[in-house]
Amino acid sequence: MATEIIATGKAVPARRVTNDDLARGEWIAATKIDTNDEWIRSHTGIGARHIADEDTAASDLALEAAKQALVMAVGWDGTGNGAASREAAIAETALTLDFIIIATVTPDFLGCPSTACIVQDKIGAKNAAAMDITAGCTGFVYGLETAAGLLSINKGRKRALVIGADVLTKVANWNDRGTCVLFGDGSGAVVVEKTGNPSEGPGKRGLLRTILGADGSGTEYLINRRGGTRNPWKTGEIVDIPPHLEMDGRAVYNFAVKAVTETISRLLAEEGASSGAALTFNDLAWIVPHQANARIVQAAGKRLGIPEEKFFLNIEEYANTSAASIPIALDEMNRGGKLHKGDLILTVGFGGGLTYGGNLIVW
């Protein structure tokens, strides 16, 4: 029995802000950042980002990405086949879900309720359990493995909705040009299903193998210090700067290059050893990395001797959307005809925690 991704979806806010817009202070009055397009592009590969408006929270983006994935899962094509309308197709498919997992570090609310419960209610997924996962930008990689595990331990469960959704621009310090220019908002979603295909041997399909890891000694390198129980707001306290992410960019960069390099090598080596046929990057159709900085991907690729074209990159358009970046990429690739049945693809991520991980998937 294989655990396969049968549908994808994505959502990004309509407001598109280029590097030049940031430098000119044209997206938010009074926030003119001392930066320029040349610096941001040359240091990160980012050209633009999509920024949520005041009223948009993680669950709003997650909801739209989820709807797109559910519509694709049921095969509704707009002509009324099967379901009477798009909303009916969504409602129908939502009832088939056993789990909703949302990976996010920017939930609608601090801890309670989960963002997944909000989406569960809005799509009417009455039969689904719902929970959030906090694993930084690696959250989607963690979420996929969690969904596969939960589906495999109970024969009666068949389908899960796994979403990455983050609104990092709401926890960015817009006075810190070293971090705020890196972030964008968005959500990506996949429907995961237990199918009758084999998960090993000839014709194997779906999620083959996952590596998950963490190095909690790096908590200080990416941290939002305020608002949690370690450092809660106090009555009467004046807020000078809203809660925001602090980052040691150099430390995260070094961790990320090592994590990406090692995760790719290990996934290929371990799958090769267990299947009895050595695997190299040549066997991969695509590597889908977390889109934090194109230079991290280039450095890892260089160390492994993997050509840049093997990596799918859309960071130029979306910047770092945290847990949403890998599922947004998967949806773009899927809808753009870049993924074919039987393709071997590898996701790899890293992020706050610090965490890292990757999935090896036969599409």
Question: Contact residues for ligand ACO (CB under 6 A)?
Answer: 35, 39-40, 43-44, 136-137, 177-178, 181, 222, 247, 249-250, 252-253, 256, 292-293, 320, 322, 351-352
Min separation Cβ 288 and ligand ACO, Å: 15
By the 8 A CB rule, do 189 and 62 touch?
yes
Contact indicator for 188, 9 with CB cutoff of 8 Å: yes
Is 44 within 8 Å of 38 (Cβ atoms)? no
Among candidate residues 19, 50, 180, 290, the one labeled active-site is 290
Task: Identify any residues that bridge with 50 across adjacent strands, giving them in sequence order.
Answer: 16
Q: Which is nearer to ligand ACO, 137 or 151 (CB)?
A: 137
Q: Which residue is nearest to ligand ACO (CB)?
A: 249
Catalytic residue at 50? no
Helix axes 139-152, 325-335, angle to 10 degrees: 80
- For the record, the structure tokens of 251 come out as 């430390």
CA atoms of 88 and 356, how far apart (whole Å) = 38
CA-angle at 187, arms to 42 and 19, nearest 5°: 25
Helix, strand and coil in the chain, % to nearest 5:
40, 25, 40
Active-site residue (options: 50, 137, 180, 244) = 137
340 is a catalytic site residue: no
User: CB-wise, 123 or 135, nearer to ligand ACO?
Assistant: 135
Angle, in degrees to the nearest 10, between helices 294-304 and 37-44: 30
Of 206 and 351, the one with the shorter C-beta distance to ligand ACO is 351
Shortest Cβ 58–ligand ACO spacing (Å): 14
Nearest to 271 by CA among 359, 170, 180, 174: 359
Distance CA 261, CA 137 (A): 16
Work out how close the CB of 354 gets to ligand ACO at its nearest, in angstroms, rounded to a whole number.
8
Do 108 and 57 form a contact (C-beta atoms < 8 A)?
A: yes
Nearer to ligand ACO, 163 or 208 (CB): 163
Closest CB 3 distance from ligand ACO, rounded Å: 26
Q: How far is the CB of 44 from ligand ACO (least distance, A)?
A: 5
CB of 2 to ligand ACO, least distance (A): 30
Write down the catalytic residue from 19, 293, 320, 334. Answer: 320
CA 314 to chain centre: 13
Query: Which one, of 1, 6, 314, lies nearest residue 190 by Cα?
Result: 6
Helices 86-94 and 115-123 pack at an angle, to 10 degrees, of 120
* Of residues 178 and 342, the one with the C-beta less far from ligand ACO: 178
Residue closer to ligand ACO, measured from CB, 47 or 124: 47
Catalytic residue check, 290: yes
- Look up residue 189 and give its DSSP letter: E
Active site residues: 137, 290, 320
